[in-house]
Amino acid sequence: MVQAYILIQTDVGKAAEVAREVGAIKGVTMAEDVTGPYDVIVRAEARNVDELGKLVVSKVQNLDGITRTLTCPVVHI
């Protein structure tokens, strides 16, 4: 299982809506709108890195109101 945080920048005024929409995507375990350089922080999981990439590119980045994403895989030691 691969887990990652996805940091999302949105259009002005869209953070809460994007957080709700992203939170409904299968594989997303948490989505919250926050303050700071990013507007939404998401925790997601997938079976492998390829599936995680597909989740981000085909589902998250296609939502209206998202301007940029940064995916940060969780490192398990």
DSSP characters over 49-73: HHHHHHIIIIIITTSTTEEEEEEEE
CB of 64 closer than 8 Å to CB of 20: no
Q: One digit per residue, pLDDT tens: the chain, 77 residues?
A: 999 999 999 999 999 999 999 999 999 999 999 999 999 999 999 999 999 999 999 999 999 999 999 999 999 75
